[in-house]
Chains A and B, each alone.
Chain A
Amino acid sequence: MTCPRTEVIGAHVPVLTLGDVLLVTVQGDLDDQTAEYLRQDITRAVAETTATGVVIDVSGVEVVDSFLGRVLADIAATVKLLAARTVVAGIRPAVAITLVELGLTLPGLCTALHVEQALRLLREPSGTHRGAHPRQGGV
């Protein structure tokens, strides 16, 4: 008998709790399974905690294609239905340029330059997003 073949496909991305905010740091190349876990893990964490905000730090992500772009948009939409807000922090300049040329401007995704700015944004009551110049509504 041979052992069942085990393949490591996909990995869970740790979700950290910072008070009312969940911080998720995504790094490197995200395979589809990891992206799917990301969606499930964040949704579950928002539902099971008192979190009112989610920060997804993508400063370590080198490629965002339409699949990953859609995953991020779907996460934000799901989190919104669970009465919390999502801020995607740290999109790299090369990724931003590529997304616009690809035609993926991700309207509805709230972004910040870095995690610190994202946390500041989430501390403000929703609707008063003037101070930190949030980039709501894509590019």
Chain B
Amino acid sequence: MHVPSTVAARLPIGSDMDLTWIRQHVRQAAAELGFGLVQQTKLVTAASELARNTLVHGGGGHMECTPVARGRIHGLRLVFTDSGPGIPDTELALSDGYTSGGGLGMGLGGARRLVHEFTLDSRPGEGTTVTITAWASGPPYPRRAL
């Protein structure tokens, strides 16, 4: 499968209008990589949650979008980076319902459920990086013999 060169990108997250661009870019990139409609919607929603966290809690940053492949299966890796205050207790932040502001506290834990791979890396005072990966047709692990 040919991967269009438009998929890889680095997009700023500095205002709520940037969230619209991020959703559009991720939607198009996932569609071009062969993601089904439900997979696209899950990934775009996860990206929207994480980009909003980067903006609201991290004080802005950027998202990097990279196509990945394992064998013949295509995926999309999204990295959200900010140099904000960081997260002192990542386990707590990931638990449903926890919010330090007036949110619902579903963004981080929800985004983790919507993708195949999720890594949260945060240092208090230095910033936060969240990396997610979704695959076009389930995670590309070898199938067990029946």
Interface residues of chain A, those whose CB is within 8 Å of chain B, are: 9, 29, 31-33, 62-67, 69-70, 92-95, 97-98, 101-104
Pick from B38, B40, B52, B96: contact of A65, CB under 8 Å: B52
Which of B20, B23, B107 is in CB contact (< 8 Å) with A66? B107
Main secondary structure of the interface of A (DSSP, over half): helix
Query: CB distance A62 to B109 under 8 Å?
Result: no
User: Within the complex, what minimum Cβ distance (angstroms) separates A97 from chain B?
Assistant: 6
Residues of A within 8 A of B40 (CB): 94
Counting CB contacts under 8 A, is B77 at the interface?
Answer: no
Q: Flag whether B33 is at the interface (Cβ < 8 A).
A: no
- Asked whether B42 lies within 8 Å of A98 as measured between CB atoms, the reply is yes
* CB pair B103 A66 closer than 8 Å: yes
Q: Name the distance in Å between A2's Cβ and chain B's nearest Cβ.
A: 21
Closest to B27 in A: A62
Contact, CB under 8 Å: B96 / A98: no
Q: Which chain B positions have C-beta within 8 A of A70?
A: 104
The smallest C-beta distance from B27 to any residue of chain A, in angstroms, reads 7
CB-CB nearest in chain B for A36: B16
Write the nearest CB–CB distance from A35 to chain B, whole angstroms. Answer: 9
Return the CB mask of B7-28 against A: 1 if under 8 Å, else 0.
0000000001101100110010
Among B43-51, B81-89, B132-140, which stretch is in contact with chain A?
Answer: B43-51
Interface residue? B106 (CB, 8 A): yes
Q: Once the chains bind, are A104 and B104 in contact (CB under 8 Å)? A: yes
Assembly CA distance A102 to B50 (angstroms): 12
